[in-house]
Amino acid sequence: MTSIADLRKSYERAELSEDASQANPMLQFEQWLKEAITSEVPEPNAMTLATVASNLRPSIRVVLIKGYDERGITWFTNYDSRKGQELVGNPFAALQFHWVELERVVRIEGLVGQVSIEESDDYFHSRPFDSRIGAWASPQSQVISGRGVLVANAAKYAAQFLLRPPRPPHWGGYRLKPDSWQFWQGRKSRLHDQLRYTLSHAANTTPGGEPMWIRERLAP
């Protein structure tokens, strides 16, 4: 059996240079996300979300990106879940995308807030019926006696709402507004490319009103 310590991979698919990267990190992210989708990597929309509780203990889980624009990165979940409660106490969080097949990682940090009621309603009603019922059936992050609880809850709410379940008041969207991005491209001999973008404190916007980003290379 191979030792875990002996597991290695040589990263040689691509490179990431200052000249070839976008000046705006959201555009760089969009480019990489589209390439991940086009390359048909498994679940290119999956991202790890890290939050910190009031006792300063971090926690992570995988969620799915549902949108992005100049306002930030959006996902939807149960507000009463562990991540929701931790975001109440500390609204700063971090996201990470890991596209293994492309040898790429994107890390994003920033302030998180809930999206509008209208955005949450619109997305909720676009979901498949079973997913809408599931939002009612699962008391996310709470202890339950067994899977039967979920099945019974799903049957109860399906009978109650028939084909028109409304959005639960405890369920909706979050948006992380980035103030820091890191793009990592694996390279040979562990001399990886890593670019960091941070908001400029001297001048936060361009004459056109767009954020000003400082792009720097970090040692891997």
**Quick check: is 217 catalytic?**
no
Please give the structure tokens belonging to residue 37.
């989708």
Cβ contacts of residue 128 below 8 Å, gap of 6+?
none
The catalytic residue among 164, 175, 190, 196 is: 190
Distance CA 170, CA 26 (A): 30
> By C-alpha distance, which of 40, 22, 39 is closest to 31?
22
Please give the structure tokens belonging to residue 135.
């939002």
> By C-alpha distance, which of 86, 98, 83 is closest to 182?
98
Cα 38 off chain centre by: 19
Number of helices (H), then strands (E), belonging to the chain: the values are 5, 9
Rg of the chain taking only CA atoms, in angstroms: 20
Active-site annotation, residues? 190
